[in-house]
Chain A
């Protein structure tokens, strides 16, 4: 672990020493450029086919991609998603893009990694309402699938190998953006308004939670830190509003949620676990009031919104034609 960190800094140092002509990366920024994850491409390809495979749901009607569509920022742009038999979900669907960089999965962090996350969706009666036994039973009849698993995993088609393949695919869903190029030293990658927006993002304190490589996704935070969000909200409270309390059953975890990544945030409306903000501007207003506990001029908020749009990344699947 330590050696990895050391290596990272050493390589950074080496880069700085050996390439003086190269653009200098911005140092000591609280947001760090995206790094592609090491991915087994064959397993990822198998994972992609599983991600799009409706046989993972009980009645073969829903696939992962049904709600995590590549073309719409890895979400379905709906307040809640629709599971099998037309059932409505209880919480806004987070994006699958860059999910690999989140420290835990789901709004309440009940899954520690992507492998774990897939199982929660599969077993959720409102989502896939299935189980691995049933899925393996179905997939066993698909000789191409079985032989692909046999090729890539010593144990062949199994619960761990299904989880692993899906997670491997999701680790390939990293979306570097213009802002990353800016962080890497390309001063012209973002315009002045966007730069100003970034400055404001930091100075207003958004950065306190939305930091790191994923601009969020590495901590929990209580929703309504400076003002009582749920008291002000017009809609009745739901189980989902309890957030991490549902996992830990500690009072201190009530209304605590994972801070979502802001990468591709411009694509993933509506916002928040309850989809209460339909637009990015509304979301920024809510954050200012309830998380920062302060006000800001309209122009500053607009600039911040412009900056946030520069976090929209690129991935080959984002432009792929819908099947």
Chain B
């Protein structure tokens, strides 16, 4: 019953100690889902925050202001075109530079809008429009240069023709047509009236169809007609170009694009608002959860405070409980050590009984033999007494005296002849030796099993070894014991417990050599000056301990013996005893060669 109780206790203690290693892993396992939840929530929160605040409004404003600037540039270009049209001495640098700016700004906006991930098909179309505007502009610049030159030169050319016509007596028609060309071309250049253009063409054709003119006048006329045609052609081309310019509607298209972009921005804004609302909702939920957790935490704190208030009381109570448990445990432990000792003793009893039986045997037979001589001495005593009575009697006859003397003499002769006195003396001597032996065994037993050890005493380990060897006579008689015991200082402790350990180790050593003919158990005692410790080696040349179990031999309930033959506690208790003596016990074993147990015990 006790055994059972102890074993469960032991197991409990061991299992709680061993689980410390796996405690960390278990904690992680327990916390992992929570950790994942927290991470997920954080990711969701930051994603929503990113989605609702990640937009660069500055870039959008910049893009819109770029579009405004583009409109300004286009307006500036248009102003430049009109300026050039009305100014015959303008240069084209400003137009050229402004147009280049228009192109580069448009391309920059396209690139920017593309980078911002906006749909910008309309920007591609706008670039096409700038190209159309560019080629129109080229045509305008070229045509306007020719137009202005012809228009400027016409008055001189007309004067030239008229002067030559007068000089050469040319028909009046030449002069009229020349003057008419001047008037019409000026009219047309100002009004742009298509009728005037047709009229001018007709007049010019009429002038060029006049035959028989002087060569010089002919050249001058051809020059005039060419310039008149040039004015008509370039002016009408310019008019067309301007209606084409107007048809481009560049700024209106830019406005459309700005609106288009704004719509896309608005969609983004709406989406952002949605995300923001989601963020707010999510945050609110989180807040509620946090408040709940805080509440729980407060509750826990309250519990802890309560617990703290009762802590001392609880601790005192638990301390008493623990002390009781400890006492119980200690009692159980000393009981189990006692039990083990009893078990060892039990094994010893047979041997001890045998030891005692031998002297008891010859003591008994000696006494029996001595008892057998007792009647003879009784008869002799009776015969001597009869003889003395006869001799001292008055009326004793010679015959009687002689008969009585011969009887006593006969008996004494028997005692002498058979050396009965010597025999009895020898028997008694033997008996006394037997008694001595028995009392020695009894003394050893008493020595060995001093149970009354309430306090530690000074003892010598050499005595322990000797005493144990005596007790173990029965066990060790099959093996050769080799003792090498150096003188050692005294130790302090419980010698009976040390005896128990030694007996256990010696018994184990002898059992290890059971199957060998020349079993040797050597017991070596040395003293390590430096460590101030006694070292006792108990070595055998037995079977050795297999490598895979050598680590377990000090474990409780570990045994290689058959069930019922060993408790499995011997070595465990031996270690506890040695450790209680602040010593150490170790083992080294080679399978098939033998085992050496070493005990280190500190000295006083």
Q: Are B153 and A219 in contact (CB under 8 A)?
A: no
Q: Are B76 and A1 in contact (CB under 8 A)?
A: yes
Assembled-state Cα–Cα distance A209/B145 (Å): 6
Q: From residue 251 to 290 of chain B, which have CB atoms closer than 8 A to chain A?
A: none
CB within 8 Å for A252 and B92 given contacts A1-B73, A1-B98, A219-B145: no
Q: Are A225 and B146 in contact (CB under 8 A)?
A: yes
* B3 interface hit (Cβ, 8 Å): no
Q: Is the interface of B mostly helix, strand, loop or mixed?
A: helix
Q: Which residues of A contact B150 (CB under 8 A)?
A: 293
How many residues belonging to A are interface residues under a CB distance threshold of 8 Å? 31
Assembled-state Cα–Cα distance A220/B150 (Å): 18
Which residue of the partner chain, among A2, A32, A207, A225, contacts B73 with CB atoms under 8 Å? A2
Q: Are A212 and B96 in contact (CB under 8 A)?
A: yes
Q: Which residues of A contact B139 (CB under 8 A)?
A: 252
Assembled-state Cα–Cα distance A1/B96 (Å): 12
Q: Are B135 and A208 in contact (CB under 8 A)?
A: no
Q: Are B91 and A293 in contact (CB under 8 A)?
A: no
Which residue of the partner chain, among A103, A209, A220, contacts B100 with CB atoms under 8 Å? A103
Q: Are B142 and A226 in contact (CB under 8 A)?
A: no
How many residues belonging to B are interface residues under a CB distance threshold of 8 Å? 35
Q: From residue 227 to 247 of chain B, which have CB atoms closer than 8 A to chain A?
A: 227, 230
Residue of A nearest to B94 (CB): A5
* A256 interface hit (Cβ, 8 Å): yes
Q: Are B146 and A208 in contact (CB under 8 A)?
A: yes
Residue of B nearest to A213 (CB): B93
Q: Are A30 and B91 in contact (CB under 8 A)?
A: yes
CB within 8 Å for A220 and B73 given contacts A103-B100, A226-B230, A293-B226: no
* A292 interface hit (Cβ, 8 Å): yes
Map CB proximity to A onto B135-168 as digits: 1 under 8 Å, 0 otherwise: 1001101101110111011000100000000000
Assembled-state Cα–Cα distance A292/B226 (Å): 11
Assembled-state Cα–Cα distance A31/B226 (Å): 28
Q: Are B73 and A208 in contact (CB under 8 A)?
A: no
Total inter-chain residue pairs, C-beta < 8 Å? 89
Q: Which residues of B contact A279 (CB under 8 A)?
A: none
* B223 interface hit (Cβ, 8 Å): yes
Q: Which residues of A contact B141 (CB under 8 A)?
A: 218-220
Assembled-state Cα–Cα distance A37/B306 (Å): 86
Assembled-state Cα–Cα distance A103/B99 (Å): 10
Q: Which residues of B contact A294 (CB under 8 A)?
A: 153, 157, 223
Q: Which residues of B contact A30 (CB under 8 A)?
A: 89-91
Map CB proximity to B onto A186-220 as digits: 1 under 8 Å, 0 otherwise: 00000000000000001001011101110000111
* A285 interface hit (Cβ, 8 Å): no
What is the minimal beta-carbon distance from B147 to any residue of chain A, in angstroms?
Answer: 9
CB within 8 Å for A211 and B91 given contacts A205-B152, A293-B223: yes
What is the minimal beta-carbon distance from A206 to any residue of chain B, in angstroms?
Answer: 9
Which residue of the partner chain, among B73, B105, B153, contacts A205 with CB atoms under 8 Å? B153
Assembled-state Cα–Cα distance A220/B146 (Å): 12
* A248 interface hit (Cβ, 8 Å): yes
What is the minimal beta-carbon distance from B507 to any residue of chain A, in angstroms?
Answer: 90
Q: Are B105 and A1 in contact (CB under 8 A)?
A: yes
* A82 interface hit (Cβ, 8 Å): no
* A90 interface hit (Cβ, 8 Å): no
CB within 8 Å for A218 and B92 given contacts A205-B152, A248-B135: yes
Q: Are A293 and B230 in contact (CB under 8 A)?
A: yes
Q: Are A212 and B93 in contact (CB under 8 A)?
A: yes
Q: Which residues of B contact A202 (CB under 8 A)?
A: 89
- A sample of 10 cross-chain residue pairs with beta-carbon separation below 8 angstroms, ordered by A number, consists of A5-B98, A32-B91, A208-B145, A211-B90, A211-B92, A220-B138, A226-B226, A293-B153, A293-B226, A293-B230
16 more A-B contacts (CB under 8 A) besides A212-B91, A219-B145, A293-B149?
Answer: A30-B91, A103-B100, A205-B153, A207-B89, A208-B149, A209-B145, A211-B90, A211-B92, A213-B93, A218-B92, A218-B93, A221-B142, A221-B145, A226-B226, A226-B227, A227-B226
Residue numbers of B with Cβ under 8 A of A are 69, 72-73, 76, 89-98, 100-101, 105, 135, 138-139, 141-142, 144-146, 148-150, 152-153, 157, 223, 226-227, 230
For the complex of A and B, 8 pairs with smallest distance between CB atoms: A205-B149, A208-B145, A1-B101, A212-B93, A211-B91, A219-B141, A212-B91, A218-B96
